[in-house]
Amino acid sequence: MKTFDINKNFSYEELSNYKKKILLLHGIRKDSVRREPETIKWIDSIDHGTFCDIGANVGVYSLVAAFNKGIKSVHAFEPMFSNFFGLTANVARNNTSKISPFNIALSNNDEIVPFYFNRYKGRSGTDIGSALHSILDKVGYDGKEFNSTFHMDVISCSFSSFYNHFNIPCPDYVKIDVDGKEDLVIDGMSDVIRDIREIMIEIDDINCNLIDKIVSFGFRVHNEWKHSKSSNVLLKNDNKN
């Protein structure tokens, strides 16, 4: 199966044509994928199982997973309303039934929580493809309070609660990128985390100790890719591999 050369700098056209009709609805998603080719390479390496995309945004990584014939199904979680529209538009445009999109924030509790929109770089904060928002408070991935003039309530539940309540088998592979709230997601999956084969998680300065917690569940660090403001860490479950 074709994978990205991790050292190559991709043009917009190459990235857009990589998997049939992946629709990049906002330039920030194009730049994000170009900065993190290791995530695509990891998804492409999966030869069987189910995939979960937590913090799916407009669904670029979910689509890459959906076009991997070895991946049976994809659960994509995205709480932000305009990004969720982009996600569902991408699913429809690619005519794939493998992706199940859920307009839910995964955290450590089942509750209604405030979702704060980040108006970074002069943006409105509600643009399709925007990122760096936050649930519960206006604290970003860097631990600093960001500029937010608008918030709305969203549904939040824990990973364990979602999969147990709906009697859905725990996914084999999980990607987590929720801009600084990754610790809440991990707290909310403690009941089922040992059933997961691999986790790719974004680590920032404010949650750098989170890796030790995941390791305590029987995972080991397989690889780490450092970026300017964060790192992507791939962990594998020794009891599942």
pLDDT tens-digit map of 29-77: 455 566 678 998 899 999 999 999 999 988 889 988 998 999 999 999 9
CATH for 213: 3.40.50.150
Residue 109: what residue type? N
- The confidence score (pLDDT) of residue 40 equals 87
| 134 confidence band (pLDDT: 50, 70, 90) | confident
| pLDDT, average across residues 80-102 | 89
CB 63 within 8 A of CB 17: no
Q: How many domains does the chain have?
A: 1
Write out the two tokens for 216.
């305590």
CA–CA dist 99, 52 (Å, integer): 9
Please indicate, yes or no, if residue 3 is contained in any of the structural domains.
no
- The confidence score (pLDDT) of residue 5 equals 35
Please indicate, yes or no, if residue 178 is contained in any of the structural domains.
yes
Please indicate, yes or no, if residue 29 is contained in any of the structural domains.
yes
Question: What is the pTM (predicted TM-score) of this model?
Answer: 0.85
Range of the domain at 33: 12-106+171-237
- The confidence score (pLDDT) of residue 135 equals 75
Please indicate, yes or no, if residue 116 is contained in any of the structural domains.
no
57 or 208, which is more confident? 57
- The confidence score (pLDDT) of residue 89 equals 86
**Cβ neighbours for 156, distance < 8 A, ≥ 6 positions apart:** 79, 104, 105, 106, 107, 109, 110, 111, 112, 113, 135
| 123 confidence band (pLDDT: 50, 70, 90) | low
Please indicate, yes or no, if residue 146 is contained in any of the structural domains.
no
pLDDT tens-digit map of 179-205: 888 999 999 999 999 999 999 999 877
Please indicate, yes or no, if residue 33 is contained in any of the structural domains.
yes
β 151-158/111-116 pair status: antiparallel
Instruction: Provide the β-strand partners of residue 44.
Output: none
55 or 25, which is more confident? 55
- The confidence score (pLDDT) of residue 167 equals 95
CA–CA dist 137, 241 (Å, integer): 37
Please indicate, yes or no, if residue 4 is contained in any of the structural domains.
no
